[in-house]
């Protein structure tokens, strides 16, 4: 794929993001604050999902295996 096409595609995605969030009407300093807050929130959600979701999945599987007749594993 040509690098110009990749650059145009990334620019198009960024433009779609600006249109969807209506941040194209913001002033430059407001837009930078909006992007900073958005990136921070997305990073915190990804980190939380990475750390806590596997723990909850393991606990849920253990809970349902006990309900449906599985033998509890030894913790030793």
Domain assignments of the chain as residue spans, ordered by start: 3-67
List all residues 6 or more positions away from 17 whose beta carbon is below 8 Å from its beta carbon. 23
What digits encode the pLDDT tens for the residues 28-72?
Answer: 999 999 999 999 999 999 999 999 999 999 999 999 888 887 665
Measuring CA to CA, how many Å separate 24 from each of 19, 21, 40, 43?
Answer: 7, 8, 20, 22
What pLDDT is stored for residue 37 in this prediction? 96
What pLDDT is stored for residue 69 in this prediction? 75
Q: Which residue has the higher pLDDT, 6 or 3?
A: 6
Q: What is the mean pLDDT of residues 15-36?
A: 93
Side-chain-facing half-sphere of 75: CA atoms under 13 Å = 1
What pLDDT is stored for residue 73 in this prediction? 61
């Amino acid at each position: 794929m040509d690098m110009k096409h990749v650059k145009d595609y990334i620019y198009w995605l960024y433009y779609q993001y600006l249109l969807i969030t209506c941040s194209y009407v913001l002033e430059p300093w407001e837009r930078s604050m909006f992007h900073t807050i958005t990136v921070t929130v997305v990073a915190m959600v990804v980190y939380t999902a990475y750390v806590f979701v596997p723990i909850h999945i393991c606990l849920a599987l253990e809970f349902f295996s006990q309900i449906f007749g599985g033998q509890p594993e030894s913790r030793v």
